[in-house]
Structure formats: structure tokens, C-alpha cells
Chain A
Amino acid sequence: MTAQVAELSIGVGSDGPLIVDGLELELAAGEVVGIAGETGSGKTTLGLALLGHLGPGLQLRRGRVSAAGVELLGPAAATGSQLRAARGRTIAYVPQDPAGALAPHLRLEAAFAELARAHRVELSPDRRAELLTRVGLPGDDAFARRYPHELSGGQQQRVAIALAFCLTPSVVVMDEPTTGLDVTTKLLIADLARELAASEGASVVFISHDLPLLFRVAQRLVVMHEGRVVETGTPTALLEHAEHPYTQRLLAAWRLGGSPAPASDGTRQVLSVRGLSAGYGDVQILHDLDLSLGVGECLAVVGESGSGKTTTARAISGLHAEHSGRILLYGEPLAAEVAKRDRAQRRAIQYVFQNPWGSLNPRRRVGASVAITAQYLRGLNRSDAEALAVQTLRDVGLRADHAQAMPQHLSGGQRQRAALARALAAGPEVLVCDEVTSSLDASVQADIVALLKQIQAERGLSMVFITHDLALAGELAHRVAVLKDGRLLETGPTRDVLAHPQHDYTAELVRAARLAG
């Protein structure tokens, strides 16, 4: 056993709500323990408590945390220099944002040297080279002389991991280390965590809201909900019989559902994109892209960040005029700029944005934001538009009184529903959904996907569903188009693409998506 958490309770102040409630955890050497849970479940507070740190305003109510014989939190906790000596040496931390973890003015070699100096140990260049090689980076001196900004996000995270393992700690806490990384890079980081735990004999605590990833990386899973451990077990055991309803919901959110069968015979096209090329200034993002969307069909456009998905969605919606090629709505060419399209055309194509935090005007009530679409695009007067807004908010699972709320008073999921209502209030024929679930928690994602499915079926909508997540595409889409570097790699019915990917790249995405299964 490398570390122990006993009866740990942490709350806000001395009488505020509990963030972590009576938590028990033991870590064994060489083991990767996955901590799963959503925003607010207390994962990060637990991660920091393992380092003997309490967030601002938080107080230890009960219990203790100890690692390798040092008490980090509790009645006899180490303080001052003892605690500092333990951090980094006995217990190390890999934060969520690698760019913030590496001091921008230090070359990589200096970052290693600084860590060694702080703990008064000798660190030979050979050890540094060995560590960098182990995390899949070049071990040569030229690489060690680079600055953090000269690395990609994935490389920065690997350096952060190498630094964490540098002084052979007993415990390494990784707090959402893959957020913001590409699917393929995520997998590399997860495999790395597992390998290093085994070879260095450290316990790795891998905190994430990404369940499929945890299934891949962890030997043991701890599911947290509202500060408590609701379930614990090996990934296989959890998959077979999760007992707690929260775990079941979390799992249901991520299981690959059966992909919908093709919706239309493909004879009637509502939207087609012909030879679309687009860019920003001198940078070309899209190269000669062809897409088509049948009536009542859902087309998933899948690719990593930078593959041109959002640019495609914006060009279709007339929000990225800097493009060539043709976009046809029922065979009629559309103007590049939305202002030059007529009202019927603007009404027919509605865009739902990725980030629900920025897509609603923060100074306007939610109901008014929804009503504006109906006013502008359906020519309704104000009171009719407001009535329709309330009705539409209900349709997407919000209450009538949410119409009077300001966006900042809604949760992310509620905002995304409101943004969806705004699009639906126009009475669209094509819904363009740009990564609409990517900034939401797992179980909220599942709710939104279920809602989209239901609305699409009820209203007979055609949908362009932009996502980086093939699993999600499999859930919703009749057909998939895979984008890489702004080019269409392959397209076909979802079932076929998932079962028999034609490209290595697609196969990789499928593998990433299949992690849960």
C-alpha cells in the first residue's frame, strides 16, 4: 500500500456543505485507480487532498490522508518543509492544463533541473533522457533545450508526466490530464499512465469524467457522486453489474447504442455541398469537400480538432463567407453570406453552437433570445413569438419560467437546451449541430443526445451533426463523413463505417470510440 485515505470529509468553511463526504481509499503500488464523476462530484478536491492541499475556503472536517508513511492531511499532518519535501518527491501531480504546468520561460532541461534542485537530489542528463524517451519524446539535448511553447499540447502533457515520475514518487495524481487533447493523443497518455505505474511501481490516481478512457487505463474504478464513493470495482465488474443508479446512468451515457438504420433512400437531397474550399486569409482549412444530406437524415461529420468541421458547419450556415464551391438547398444555390440569403433560406438552416456559455446573449432573457428567431424568421409579432418561445422551451425539456431567466442562471445543459429551442423556434428543415455536447458532462450529454434523437424523429428534421466522437455519431447518425485535415476521408452508412472502416485513421477513431465496449 502506498497511500491511504481514511474517513476523509472536506467541507466549505466550518459549517458549509460537504464537498468530500466520508471517503475511504487505499492505493497499491503499480496500480492505476480511476476516479470517475462529473463536475462537482468532488474528484478534484480529492486529488488535491492527496497532495495535502485544501482549496480556498475549504476545511478538513474529519479523517486523514497519508502517503508512504507521511501524513499529508489530518491531526498530525506534516507542515512547512516536511510537506514541501513530500510534494513532488513522495507524491506528484499532473494538472489538467499542461501549458499552465510548465513555466513558459524555462527550457525543458531547466524544468527538470529546478525540480531536482528543490528536492536536493542529483539528476543526471541520462535519467532525463530516459524519462523523455519513456513518454515517447526525443531524449536528445536539442529537444531538452526547447521551450514549452515549442511543443504541442500532447507533448507538453507528456513532459508534465515525465516530470511527475522524475523522482520516483509513490503516488502520482493526474487530474483530467487528457482534457483538450485529441482522441489519439488521449489514448497515448492513458497507456503511458498505465505503463509508468507498472514500471516505476507508483500508484496512479487518474481523475477523469471520460468513462471510456478510464475503462482503458484503470485497474480499479472509483465512481464519485456528490462527494461520496457510490461504487468501486474493476472496470469489467462495473460494466457487467453496476449497482448504483448513478453508475448505470453514467454507463448508459457512454455505451455504443445500435446505430440508426438509413433514414431515406437518398433520392431526395435537402442539402448538398459541392467542391467546398474555405480558409482564413492565407490558411486553407477545407479542400474540395463534397457532402450531401437526405431529407430526414442525420449526417455526422467526424474529425479531430483542426480537421475543418466547424468551418464546414459555418460555411453551410452562411457564417463563413470566405469560401468557394457551392452549397445547395433543395438544388437552389445559397449565397455565401447569410445576410444575402432570403428569409426562407435563413429559416431552413439553423445552427446550434458548440459552447452554450457564449451562444446566448448574456444581457437578454432566455425567452427573448428564443423569440427573436421566431420574430425575424417567421414574421411573428412579439407576443406570438414569446408564446412560441415558451412552447419551444417546453418541447426541449425546460420549464415555462426558464423563459424569464438570464442565461447565466442556467446550467450548461439547460443553456444548450435553450440554444436548441432558439434554433427550433425558426421551424428549420436542417439543423446544424456543432459539437453541441462537447462542453457538457457525460450524463447531460446523454440527455441532449436523447433529446436530439427525439426531436429529429418528431419533426422529421435533417441534421448535420458535427462531432469528434465517433461513439456519439454512432448513436445518432444514419451516415458518417470522416474529415481529416480539411479533406473528406470516407463517407458511408454509420453501421458500415463503424464495422468496416476503409482508412487506418477511421479505424483508429473507431477503436477510440469502442473503448467502452
Chain B
Amino acid sequence: MSLHAQHSKTSTSVWHFLRSDPRLWAGAVAVAAVVLLAIAGPWLAPHDPSAFVGRLYLRPNATSWLGTDVLGRDVLSRLLAGGRLFLIQGLAAATFGVLAGVLLGILLGVTKGRTAAFLLFCSDSVMVIPQILLVLLILAAFGSAPLTLTIAVALAQVAYTARVIFAATGRVTTEDYYRAARAVGMGTGSLVLREVLPNVAPAVLVEYGVRLSISFVALASLSYLGFGSGDVDWGAMIHENQGGIALQPWAVVAPVLVLAAFLLGMNLLRDAVARALAARSAR
């Protein structure tokens, strides 16, 4: 009961700061629009996304509102069909990556000692490899099925999240309330759940926002490079049609606009939440 009351209390005060932030509303509108497009798109598509509806690189016309692509398929239909898997993959990759990173970061932060220092060193070493390269290495070894791709992107996030949460945990474990909890004899599990987790929650939330954006960017980049896993895919659309950009710009511009709106919206949302959390803790 008291836990519930506590949650509603903190969320109202964060909400108090969020409500008046235009970034929140702009971001929410952009993200919601793209998510709706991706979810409802496959049912709304006027054509089969892989059917040939006319000559290649047709300008927008009555049957193909955004024209046709390099193989004469309908750009609008491909745009509407290309988001679902992309969004699911990004969401899943960020969620699993952050969960694993938070777990690792907190455990290393709480246990300290030589083993923890060694594991942190290993985790830091992974960060030396550029993320895209790391994912490409995994894909080269295990193939690029949708699940493999998701796991690869998730793994690429773990070290970064672990580093951030390790630092946040370190700030908690040097506080007196953490010492007080140790002094009453709390075990490691209780220390993590009752002292550390509630106090690193804001950092986790912001980190999750960052990792979502980065996962989506990584997935779109991989598709563009030709390592995407879907048949229809926004990143892949850009890749396929860039040769005809002078003849039929819409085949490239449309997916670029959708991706840009989505990522910009994500960043605005995350920024608004981060600022609201900072404003609350500054009070």
C-alpha cells in the first residue's frame, strides 16, 4: 500500500515538470504517429508490398501515391509495411540490453572487489569496439535472422548501460543511508532491491531512452548496409532506391522522413524526461 502511494507521489512530481515541457508533447506526437503507422500500416497498404505495380521509378501518381521503386513496387505500401518488425526489434533489443546492463552494473557496483573490477575491465574493453562493427561480427558468425539481429544489437548495449549504472550504484553505496542499511544487517539482495534500485531508477529510465534511440539507429543502419532481416524495411528502402534519387526522390525521402521523425521524437521524449527528473532532484 505504502509502496503504491510512494510511486504515485513521485510520478506526480515528475509529471508536474513534464506537463509544461513542449519537448514532451512534440516528441510524443512524432513517436505516436510513427508507431501507429507501423502497427496499422500493413492493413492500410493499398498494394501488396512485394508486388510489381508498374514501371520502375514512377513519379507519384493516382495508383501509386508515392510512386514506385527500383523494381516497380509501390513505395507507399512498402513504407506502411516496413515498420512493424523494425519497431519490435528495436524495442526488444533495447529492453534486453538495458535489463542485462542494469543487472551487471548493480552487481558489480555492490560487490566491488577484484572479480568485479576484472569483469568491469572486460566490459569496458568491449566498448573499445565500435558498436556497428561488434554487431556485424556477431552477424557474420551467426547469420542475420531477425532474432539473431535483435540479440546482437542488445548485446552491443550491455557494456554501456553497465558502465552508467555501475557509476550510479557507486553514488548510492557511498551514501550514509546505504551504510545504515548495511549496519542493520541487510543482505546483498535486500540492499539491491530496497536501497540501490529505487535510487538508480531515474538513471535507468534515462539510459533506457538513450539505448532505445541507439538501437533503432543501429537497426536502421544495418538495414541500409544490407544486413537487415526483413523483406520490407525502411533502412533497406533507402539503400535500394538511392541510385534513382534524381528520378524518383520519394522512394528515398519518404523512409528518411519517417525514420527522422521517429528518432527525433524519441530524443525529444527522452530529453524531456531527463530534464524533469533533474528538476525534481534539484528541488
Interface residue ranges, A against B (CB under 8 Å): 314, 317-319, 338-339, 341, 343, 346, 350-351, 353-355, 358-365, 368-369, 372-373, 376-377, 406, 408, 422, 426
Contacts and interface: CB of A to CB of B under 8 A. Distances in A.
Contact of B198 (A314, A346, A361, A377): A361
A359 B182 CA distance: 12
Interface stretch (B85-93, B140-148, B171-179, B244-252): B171-179
Interface in B130-152: none
B185 A377 contact: yes
Nearest to B281: A362
Nearest to A374: B184
16 contacts: A314-B179, A318-B183, A319-B183, A338-B185, A339-B182, A346-B185, A355-B176, A359-B177, A360-B177, A361-B194, A362-B177, A363-B10, A363-B198, A365-B2, A365-B6, A377-B184
A338 B6 contact: no
B195 interface: yes
A359 B180 contact: yes
Given A365-B6, A406-B9, A358 B177 contact: yes
Given A338-B185, A361-B199, A319 B179 contact: yes
Contact of B2 (A350, A358, A368, A372): A368
B177 A361 contact: yes
Contact of A376 (B175, B179, B184, B199): B184
A343 B175 CA distance: 23
A372 B184 contact: yes
Nearest to B198: A363
B25 to A, nearest CB: 27
B6 A363 contact: yes
Given A360-B177, A361-B177, 17 more contacts: A338-B182, A341-B185, A346-B183, A350-B183, A351-B183, A353-B179, A355-B176, A358-B176, A359-B175, A359-B176, A359-B177, A361-B195, A361-B199, A362-B199, A363-B198, A377-B185, A422-B180
Nearest to A360: B177
A363 B199 contact: yes
Scoring A350, A353, A354 by chain B CB atoms within 10 A of each residue's CB, the highest score goes to: A353
Contacts of B199: 361-363
Contacts of B175: 358-359
Nearest to B202: A363
A372 B181 contact: yes
Contacts of B182: 319, 338-339
A343 B184 CA distance: 8
The 5 closest A-B CB pairs, nearest first, are A363-B198, A359-B176, A353-B176, A376-B184, A361-B177
Contacts of B201: 363
Contacts of A350: 183
Interface in B106-161: none
B200 to A, nearest CB: 10
B184 A353 contact: no
B26 interface: no
Given A355-B176, A358-B175, A363-B6, A338 B198 contact: no
B186 interface: yes
Scoring B9, B179, B194, B283 by chain A CB atoms within 10 A of each residue's CB, the highest score goes to: B179
Q: Give the interface size bracket for B toward A.
A: 20 to 34
A323 to B, nearest CB: 16
Interface string B187-204: 000000011001101000
Contacts of B177: 358-362, 369
A317 B176 CA distance: 13
A355 B9 CA distance: 25
A369 B182 CA distance: 13
B174 to A, nearest CB: 9
A319 B182 CA distance: 8
B185 A353 contact: no
Nearest to A422: B180
Contacts of A362: 177, 199
B198 A317 contact: no
A422 B183 CA distance: 12
Interface string B4-27: 001001100000000000000000
A376 B184 CA distance: 6
A355 B180 CA distance: 12
B5 to A, nearest CB: 8
Contacts of B194: 361, 364
Nearest to A356: B176
Nearest to A350: B183
Nearest to B200: A363
A151 B6 CA distance: 46
A370 to B, nearest CB: 11
A354 B175 CA distance: 11
Scoring B181, B183, B184, B201 by chain A CB atoms within 10 A of each residue's CB, the highest score goes to: B183
A362 B178 CA distance: 11
A406 B13 CA distance: 13
A346 B198 CA distance: 25
Nearest to A432: B183
B165 to A, nearest CB: 16
Nearest to B174: A358
B246 to A, nearest CB: 54
B11 to A, nearest CB: 12
Scoring B176, B181, B186 by chain A CB atoms within 10 A of each residue's CB, the highest score goes to: B176
B180 A376 contact: no
A317 B180 CA distance: 10
B2 to A, nearest CB: 6
B93 to A, nearest CB: 29
A408 B177 CA distance: 13
Interface string B163-175: 0000000000001
Given A355-B176, A363-B199, A376 B186 contact: yes
A406 B9 CA distance: 10
A396 B194 CA distance: 25
Nearest to B10: A363
A366 to B, nearest CB: 11
Nearest to A359: B176
A374 to B, nearest CB: 9
A351 B182 CA distance: 11
A353 B2 contact: no
A325 to B, nearest CB: 20
Interface in B38-79: none
A355 B174 CA distance: 13
A353 B177 CA distance: 9
Contacts of B2: 365, 368
Contacts of A376: 184-186
Contacts of A353: 176, 179-180
A353 B195 CA distance: 17
Contacts of A368: 2
Contacts of A360: 177
A358 B194 CA distance: 16
Nearest to A367: B2
